[in-house]
Amino acid sequence: MMKTISESRCFGGVQGVYAHDSAVTGCAMTFGLFLPPEAREGPVPVLWYLSGLTCTHENAMVKAGAQAWAAEHGIAVAFPDTSPRGPDVADDEAFDMGQGAGFYVNATRAPWAAHFRMWDYVTDELPRLLVNAFPVDEERQAITGHSMGGHGALTAAMNLPDRYRSVSAFAPVSHPSRSDWGRRQFAAYLGDDESDWAAHDSTLLMRAAGFPGEVLIDQGTADAFLDRLMPEALAGAMAARRQAGQMRMQPGYDHSYFFVASFMADHIAFHAEALWA
Amino acid sequence: MMKTISESRCFGGVQGVYAHDSAVTGCAMTFGLFLPPEAREGPVPVLWYLSGLTCTHENAMVKAGAQAWAAEHGIAVAFPDTSPRGPDVADDEAFDMGQGAGFYVNATRAPWAAHFRMWDYVTDELPRLLVNAFPVDEERQAITGHSMGGHGALTAAMNLPDRYRSVSAFAPVSHPSRSDWGRRQFAAYLGDDESDWAAHDSTLLMRAAGFPGEVLIDQGTADAFLDRLMPEALAGAMAARRQAGQMRMQPGYDHSYFFVASFMADHIAFHAEALWA
């Protein structure tokens, strides 16, 4: 059962917020979905936007400025939450662990395994729900994200290259198995065997196989979290793999949504080209 | 003394947040200022954005999507707060009274008169501070706003027609002296003599004199607050005055920032034309 929380007209389309009981995470989940004007005529391509630490479905929906460009290109944008939530869901005092910090994995360890199954939620349950309930085209999906969500987008695309036509990221957590944004969380969610982490590390996935299409990554040079994001590891892996695409180091930009918004037009145009090809 | 809270690169310019001790409101005030890339070369025109009920300086700064278009047109955007704030400042339990609801007037009645002087703050103290501290051109100012802030923008422009080259508004509180968004607040802030309210009622100001330039107003037809905004009163006054400009009724749009963002490009282009003329 899905419940409509709100629907607002936006750039000629509709920005909706919906809630549903997730079988995968075992709790109520809320997501945003922007549908462009073209969705009134039939299914449209969909771009997934995965958010970063502490975010809900709402942050990017209200701050990233994606709707203007999505409307222009006739593509939908889906904004999932970043973790299961609620009083019955395990949590941690740290902002980068537990609720708001699902890291887009299926946890296998207590107390997280009961609800923290964001990998299955974002790559399986929510896409099926969207395709069934809204005019979005299952065959035309692309994915992007910011910070932890950039990690989610890159790992989803490299693990499921037939699913996503294109992938991009804003300041992604690029090498979590070697980062303070990754090691503690993967140990808690997935256990101490680091071989179980490799499928969720973009640098390792890039070294192993890369992505069949082009990859677009933007990273601000004034980002306060560069030591945890480790763009140099992913950039090296991209170059060594001869991965088509580009990592753009953007002078003076920080980690905020002001950075994300500044380059959103480029990212949506990049995805639109692949989605409408 | 002004304090820099944050500065983030944004669309090639800088989105800053600053705090200062206001002599007018008698408390610390925080504001946002976006400077486009051109500000590095010298003073640029400035568009004032006045926010609505419950908003701080932050809401429009992160949600309205103004920076993309301001950067394109080379104009600064100033985002003041909507009221004095702090534990020593009078307040009210209602969301539309007291802190977050200054209504852009100088209160003359206790307990409000001590701090609630948003008219002087927005039209005098903050413009002087901006002109002194940042590369903004005193001779090229324009003003817009949303809801209570649309009221503020229209009343500022019609009272100070030599100050502002252009004025626009999103879903403005258009006739506060006849509205539940106005009567209670004006009685509390200004007293019971309704002749003291007239200078702060856009419909009455439009009937009396109008604005020497063009006026642009957007109003969503699905706005839940139409009974309090009273666009029909202002539209009638504009037509009777033969006021140059337009009120656009936008089908299906509500009162949210999704509405504001949808038409921000139009408003900034409108102001840019006047500011660069």
Q: Using CB atoms, which residue from B63, B253, B265 is nearest to A9?
A: B253
Q: Which two tokens stand for residue B39?
A: 């500000």
Residue A249's alpha-carbon distances to A151, A190, B195, in angstroms, are 17, 32, 59
pLDDT at A92 over 90: yes
Cα gap B150→B275, rounded to integer Å: 19
- Does residue A254 carry a pLDDT above 90? yes
- Per-residue model confidence (pLDDT) at position B184: 97
What's the rounded Cα separation, in Å, for the pair B209 and B211?
A: 7
Rounded to whole angstroms, what are the CA distances from A221 to A138, A253, B204? 36, 6, 52
Q: Are strands A76-79 and B245-250 parallel, antiparallel or unpaired?
A: unpaired
Interface test with B, best of A4, A9, A69 (most B CBs within 10 A): A9
pLDDT of residue B36: 98
* Average model confidence (pLDDT) across chain B: 97
Indicate left, alpha or beta for A272 from its phi (over 0: left) and psi (-120 to 50: alpha).
Answer: alpha
Q: Work out the minimum CA distance from B254 to partner chain A, whole angstroms.
A: 6
* Of the candidates A156, A82, A159, A150, the residue with the CA atom closest to the CA atom of residue A118: A82
**Helix (H/G/I), strand (E/B), else coil: B22:** strand
What is the structure's pLDDT at B1?
80
pLDDT beyond 90 at B256: yes
pLDDT tens per residue, range B47-69: 999 999 999 999 999 999 999 99
CB of B150 closer than 8 Å to CB of B64 = no
Q: What is the average pLDDT across A234-262?
A: 96
A-B contacts (CB, under 8 Å): 70
Of the candidates B8, B254, B265, which has its C-beta nearest A8's C-beta?
Answer: B254
Question: What whole-number distance in Å separates Cα of residue B2 and Cα of residue A185?
Answer: 41
Mark residue B108 as left, alpha or beta (left: phi above 0; alpha: psi -120 to 50; beta: remaining).
alpha
Digit-coded pLDDT (tens) for A56-70: 999 999 999 999 999
Residue pLDDT, tens place only, B192-233: 999 999 999 999 999 999 999 999 999 999 999 999 999 999
Mean pLDDT of the B66-77 span:
98
Q: Does B261 touch chain A (CB under 8 A)?
A: yes
Spatial distance between the Cα atoms of A78 and A22, rounded to a whole number of angstroms = 16
Q: Scanning every residue of chain B, which has its alpha carbon at the shortest distance from the alpha carbon of A253? A: B9
Which helix or strand (DSSP H or E) is residue A120 part of? helix A118-120
Which residue do the tokens 């337009």 mark?
B246
d(CA B26, CA B114): 8
Residue with tokens 């946002």: B32
- Helix/strand/coil (H, E, C) string of A230-253? CHHHHHHHHHHHCCCEEEEEECCC
Q: In what order do the strands lie in the sheet with B245-250?
A: B2-10, B13-22, B27-35, B76-79, B44-50, B136-145, B164-170, B215-220, B245-250
For residue B99, give both structure tokens. Answer: 């802190």
In chain B, the residue whose alpha carbon lies closest to the alpha carbon of A259 is B10
- Quick one: average pLDDT of B180-193? 98
Mapping DSSP to helix (H, G, I), strand (E, B) and coil, where does residue B265 land?
helix
Distance CA A70, CA A13 (A): 10
**Which residues sit opposite B76 in a β-bridge?**
B46
Q: Is the pTM of the predicted complex or chain greater than 0.90? A: yes
| C-beta separation of B168 from B271 below 8 A | yes
Using the predicted structure, report yes or no on whether residue A265 has a pLDDT greater than 90: yes
Largest CA distance in chain B: 50
Would you say A108 and A191 are in contact if contact means Cβ atoms under 8 Å apart? Answer: yes
Cα–Cα distance measured from residue A89 to residue A247, given in angstroms and rounded to the nearest whole number: 37
Which tens digit of pLDDT belongs to each residue from B109-142? 999 999 999 999 999 999 999 999 999 999 999 9
Q: Identify the pLDDT of residue A159.
A: 98
| Burial class of residue A151 in the structure, from the number of CB atoms within 10 Å of its CB (0-12 exposed, 13-18 middle, 19+ buried) | buried
Q: Is the pLDDT of residue A1 over 90?
A: no
State the greatest distance between any 2 C-alpha atoms of chain A, in Å, as a whole number: 50
User: Which residues of B are catalytically annotated?
Assistant: 147, 223, 255
Please indicate whether, in this complex, the C-beta atoms of B259 and A15 are within 8 angstroms of each other. Answer: no
3-state SS assignment for residue B36 = coil
A174 is annotated as an active-site residue: no
- Strand B27-35 relative to strand B164-170, pairing: unpaired
Q: What is the value of ipTM here, to two decimals?
A: 0.90
Q: Which tokens sit at B59?
A: 């809401």
Residues of chain B with Cβ-Cβ distance to A35 below 8 Å are none
CA distance B102 to B99: 7
Confidence of residue A140 (pLDDT cuts 50, 70, 90): very high
- Whether B173 and B147 have beta carbons less than 8 Å apart is answered as yes
Contact residues for B155 (Cβ-Cβ < 8 A; gap 6+): B104, B199, B200, B201, B202, B205
Distance CA B189, CA B101 (A): 11
Residue of B139, B144, B134, B146 lying closest to B162 (CA atoms) = B139
What's the rounded mean pLDDT across residues A176-187? 97
Q: Measured between alpha carbons, how far is A123 from A138 in angstroms, rounded to an integer?
A: 12
Residues in B touching A251 (Cβ below 8 Å): 9
Cis peptide before A111 (omega within 30 of 0): yes
pLDDT for A196:
97
Mean pLDDT of chain A: 97
Test B253 with A68 for CB contact under 8 angstroms.
Answer: no
- Digit-coded pLDDT (tens) for A114-132: 999 999 999 999 999 999 9
- pLDDT greater than 90 at residue A10: yes
Distance CA B202, CA B235 (A): 10
